[in-house]
């Protein structure tokens, strides 16, 4: 057992030794392999180093041989490029010497019909000029191309003038009227396009203008532009005037609807309303009334053939006056028509000027450089504007001369014009914005002149109403409305149509601090004060004129008729609203005056009814015989009543009270008073025997007396 145990460790050690020896052998083999590889690697490295060294040597040799060649090639290429550039420059320079010859034909033939080609030739010439100026300023070629350039520029300017002249036409009057018309039925107004030049022509003109500004260094074309367009603007406005004179004189139609131009799918609509005054008949009626005052309707001074049934309808009165005077005063009426046409024409021309000027500025803005536009536009509109202002000054001068002749109706021609000028002043100012101060001040100066002469006419008219002489031959024999009253009311009614203008006209002459800021209410009060002044002057004058009548009853009828006519006219024309602004009780005051005159007239019947009173009437008892003296008293009362009744009825039958309502009222009141008094008198005398021939004194029954009174103020009875 002991031996076996010792032998086991020995065997393990042998095995361990063998293993170690085996590993050692393997490691030795691996080391040998590595050594062999290292030796091979060293050999390969040496080989590679040798190769690289050889390659580097060869590269150095190649570089030493290639670089000189490369540099030589670069130099050759540079030389080639320089040669090419030199040749190109020579060709370019040589081309400048041929520009004059190459462009000669096109320049001589001008730019018409080939503007682009022409401008291209001009550009070549311009470059040649620049070349010779920079490189050879003393060469004859420079003068040649300069001359050719100037010739080309002249022909461009000529083409600019030619195109403008050939295609600039006056705007047709009908198109202008359509452009300035206003249609209240359309919520959005359609702007009528005023095409001044065809689009292709406009583009050529814009192109030429642009070239002349940029290269031509010439502003003369702007003068050409404003001269030609100014002439067309003026001709357009004059054409509109001629349209009015021809068409209005022949047909009486002041507006012709324009052809539907520049509108797409425009529905059929009524003729547009014109934004201006339409001549009325009030001013004509006033002139006719003045003629009536000189001749009378029947050819006799002071005569009147207005029947009582005509009443106080002043339009009807005007119609009768017009009909009566048409034959005798046709020439005068014709002058009024011409004046109406001239006024309406002038008002249209003001609106046309604004519209055309705006259109011209829009055209000008496309052609003229921005910094020259305002000045050119200022020059362009001067002729047309000056003509309009001159015509306005002539209207003012004519009104001034008429006022000096005491023809105050002339001021009525100013009102519609002045109103239109003031209504369009803001648009006028906007259109002239940027023009010279002298240009912008022309319209305000004209407005001031019109306001001044208008205010003077109004004041002198008021004074003329107050100072109209009391001519006996000029008084209506029938006590009807005096021509002065008719004229004054007609004049005031015309002011009603232009109340804002008239108020502002009066306010323009105010120097008080309260007038520093004119308001509509302030102007309205001024006009109300003026109307009350005229009515007050008229009342004073009528009172003075009434004293011309010897018969106080006729004087009362005269004042009654005039006061009643004034009141009814004020109420009918709404003048009463203006009057009551400053005189609240004006209406009641006139009614009191009318009532006073009725009472004054009724006193004329006292000399008839006083015979029917109990004064001096004898006291008697039934069955008592009257004394001769007492019978005579009763006879005298009957006779006095009969004679007075017949005399008054005969006289007053020829008097006139045109207002049917007032006429009936006065008749009924007088009939009632006289009839009641007469019946009472007859009742008292019923049982009195004062004569053997009672029918001699008891000539009229009460019913007959009433019939006689019912025929008062009736010349046909």
Tens-place pLDDT, residues 466-513 = 988 878 778 999 999 999 999 999 999 988 888 888 898 888 887 654
* Distance of alpha carbon 508 from alpha carbon 504, whole angstroms: 6
Lowest mean pLDDT among 132-141, 166-175, 206-215, 268-277: 268-277
Say yes or no to pLDDT of 202 above 70: yes
Please say whether the beta carbons of 485 and 314 come within 8 A. Answer: no
Query: Is residue 378 helix, strand or coil?
Result: helix
| Of 357 and 115, more confident | 357
- Other C-beta atoms within 10 Å of 142: how many? 18
Question: pLDDT tens digits, residue range 35-94?
Answer: 889 988 889 898 889 898 888 888 888 888 888 888 888 888 888 788 767 656 655 565
Angstrom distance (rounded) from CA 417 to CA 411: 10
Inter-residue contact 470 to 542 (CB < 8 Å): no
Q: Which pLDDT does position 516 carry in this prediction? A: 46
The pLDDT confidence band at residue 337, using thresholds 50, 70 and 90, is low
Q: Is the pTM of this model over 0.75?
A: no
Mean pLDDT score, 677-685: 86
User: In this model, does residue 372 exceed pLDDT 70?
Assistant: yes
603 DSSP assignment: G
Strand extents, DSSP E, 227-356: none
pLDDT on residue 463:
93
What's the CA gap between 569 and 262, in Å, rounded? Answer: 49
Comparing 531 with 328, the larger pLDDT belongs to 531
Q: Which residues of 34-68 are buried (b: 16+ CB within 10 A; e: fewer)?
A: eeeeeeeeeeeeeeeeeeeeeeeeeeeeeeeeeee
CB 538 within 8 A of CB 462: no
What are the residues whose beta carbons fall under 8 Å from the beta carbon of 281, sequence distance 6 or more? Answer: 318, 322
Q: What SS3 class is residue 491?
A: helix
Q: What is the pLDDT of residue 320?
A: 37
Report percent pLDDT > 70 for the chain: 79
Which string of b and e fits 623-644 if b means at least 16 CB within 10 Å?
Answer: eeeeeeebbebbeebbeebbeb
Q: Is the pLDDT of residue 256 over 70?
A: no
pLDDT band for position 190 (50/70/90)? low
Whether residue 194 contacts residue 171, with contact meaning beta carbons closer than 8 Å, is answered with yes
pLDDT, average across residues 674-678: 91
pLDDT in tens, 634-671: 888 888 999 999 999 999 999 999 999 999 999 999 99
Q: Which residue(s) pair with 182 in the sheet?
A: 273
pLDDT value of position 142: 76
* Nearest-angstrom CA–CA distance, 448 and 452: 6
DSSP collapsed to 3 states, 196-241:
CCCHHHHHHHHHHHHHHHHHHCCCHHHHHHHHHHHHHHHHHHHHHH
Give pLDDT tens digits for 85-122: 765 665 556 556 666 667 778 777 778 888 888 888 87
For range 402-421, the mean pLDDT: 88
* Structure token digits, residue 332: 């005068």
Q: Check pLDDT > 80 for residue 284.
A: no
Average pLDDT over residues 517-546: 90
């Amino acid at each position: 057992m002991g031996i076996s145990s010792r032998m086991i460790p020995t065997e393990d050690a042998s095995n361990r030794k063998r293993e170690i020896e085996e590993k050692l052998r393997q490691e030795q083999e691996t080391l040998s392999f590595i050594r062999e590889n290292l030796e091979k690697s060293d050999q390969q490295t040496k080989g590679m180093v040798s190769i690289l060294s050889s390659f580097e040597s060869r590269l150095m040799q190649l570089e030493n041989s290639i670089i000189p060649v490369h540099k030589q090639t670069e130099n050759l290429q540079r030389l080639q490029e320089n040669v090419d550039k030199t040749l190109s420059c020579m060709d370019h320079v040589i081309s400048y010497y041929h520009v004059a010859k190459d462009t000669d034909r096109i320049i001589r033939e001008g730019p018409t019909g080939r503007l682009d080609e022409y401008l291209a030739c001009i550009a070549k010439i311009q470059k040649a000029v620049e070349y010779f100026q920079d490189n050879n300023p003393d060469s004859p070629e420079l003068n040649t191309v300069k001359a050719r350039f100037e010739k080309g520029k002249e022909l461009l300017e000529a083409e600019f003038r030619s195109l403008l002249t050939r295609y600039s036409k006056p705007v047709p009057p009908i198109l202008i009227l359509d452009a300035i018309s206003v249609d209240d039925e359309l919520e959005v107004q359609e702007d009528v396009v005023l095409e001044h030049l065809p689009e292709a022509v406009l583009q050529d003109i814009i192109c030429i203008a642009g070239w002349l500004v940029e290269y031509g260094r010439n502003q003369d074309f702007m003068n050409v532009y404003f001269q030609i367009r100014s002439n067309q603007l003026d001709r357009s406005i004059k054409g509109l005037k001629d349209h009015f004179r021809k068409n209005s004189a022949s047909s009486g139609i002041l507006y012709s609807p324009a052809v539907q131009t520049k509108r797409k799918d425009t529905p059929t609509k009524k003729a547009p309303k014109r934004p201006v005054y339409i001549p009325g008949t009030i001013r004509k009626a006033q002139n006719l009334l003045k003629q009536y005052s000189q001749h009378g309707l029947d050819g006799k001074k002071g005569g009147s053939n207005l029947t009582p049934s005509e009443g106080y309808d002043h339009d009807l009165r005007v119609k009768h006056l017009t009909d009566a005077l048409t034959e005798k005063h046709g020439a005068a009426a014709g002058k009024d028509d011409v004046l109406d046409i001239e006024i309406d024409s002038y008002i249209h021309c003001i609106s046309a000027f604004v519209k055309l000027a705006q259109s011209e500025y829009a055209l000008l803005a496309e052609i003229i450089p921005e910094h020259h536009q305002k000045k050119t536009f200022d020059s362009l509109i001067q002729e047309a504007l000056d003509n309009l202002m001159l015509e306005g000054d002539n209207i003012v001068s004519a009104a001034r001369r008429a006022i000096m002749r005491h023809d105050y109706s002339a001021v009525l021609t100013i009102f519609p014009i002045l109103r239109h000028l003031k209504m369009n002043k803001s648009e006028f100012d906007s259109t002239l914005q940027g023009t010279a101060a002298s240009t912008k001040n022309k319209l305000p100066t004209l407005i001031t002149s019109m306001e001044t002469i208008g205010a003077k006419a109004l004041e002198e008219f008021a004074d003329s109403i107050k100072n109209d002489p009391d001519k006996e031959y000029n008084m209506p024999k029938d006590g009807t409305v005096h021509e002065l009253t008719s004229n004054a009311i007609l004049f005031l009614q015309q002011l009603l149509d232009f109340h804002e203008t008239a108020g502002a006209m009066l306010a323009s002459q105010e120097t008080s601090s309260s007038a520093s800021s004119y308001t509509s209410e302030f102007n309205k009060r001024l006009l109300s004060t003026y109307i009350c002044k005229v009515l007050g002057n008229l009342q004073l004058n009528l009172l003075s004129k009434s004293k011309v009548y010897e018969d106080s009853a006729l004087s009362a009828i005269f004042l009654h008729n005039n006061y009643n006519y004034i009141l009814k006219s004020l109420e009918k024309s709404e003048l009463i609203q203006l009057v009551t602004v400053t005189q609240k009780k004006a209406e009641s005051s006139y009614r009191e005056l009318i009532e006073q005159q009725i009472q004054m007239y009724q006193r004329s019947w006292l000399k008839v009814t006083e015979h029917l009173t109990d004064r001096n009437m004898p006291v008697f008892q039934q069955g008592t015989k009257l004394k001769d003296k007492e019978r005579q008293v009763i006879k005298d009362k009957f006779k006095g009543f009969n004679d007075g009744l017949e005399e008054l009825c005969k006289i007053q039958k020829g008097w006139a009270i045109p207002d049917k309502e007032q006429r009936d009222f006065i008749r009924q009141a007088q009939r009632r008073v006289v009839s009641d008094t007469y019946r009472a008198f007859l009742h008292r005398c019923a049982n009195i025997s004062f004569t053997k021939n009672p029918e001699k004194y008891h000539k009229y029954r009460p019913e007959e007396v009433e019939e006689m009174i019912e025929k008062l103020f009736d010349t046909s009875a």
